[in-house]
Amino acid sequence: MNRYKNRFAVPLAQLGMRQVDLLYEIQKRGYPRLNQQQLSAYARGATVGPQADAVLKLGDAIIDEWKIQRRKRLAQ
């Protein structure tokens, strides 16, 4: 089974965000040359390796932060 399949699609949809929003945040956090095609290839598992793993881990962390921020906004 491909461990990267649709990795960001569901959590981003739940947050009402798009993959491009995630891309911009990843770029700000250390991968300024990452482009949409690369992120998409990483997310669906078409491209694997150390950089893919690092970007996916960062993407997961960003989504987790966004979920926490959303919970805080909804609790107010």
Chain segment 9-45, per-residue pLDDT in tens: 999 999 999 999 999 999 999 999 999 999 999 999 9
37, 44 in Cβ contact below 8 A? no
Domain boundaries, the chain: 9-75
- Closest by CA to 58, choosing from 23, 14, 9, is 23
Note the pTM of the prediction, 2 decimals.
0.89
Q: Exposed, middle or buried by CB within 10 Å (0-12, 13-18, 19+), for 22? A: buried
Q: What does R_g of the chain's alpha carbons equal in angstroms? A: 13
CB atoms within 10 A of CB 73: 8
Which ranges of 16-49 would DSSP assign to H, the alpha helix? 19-28, 36-44
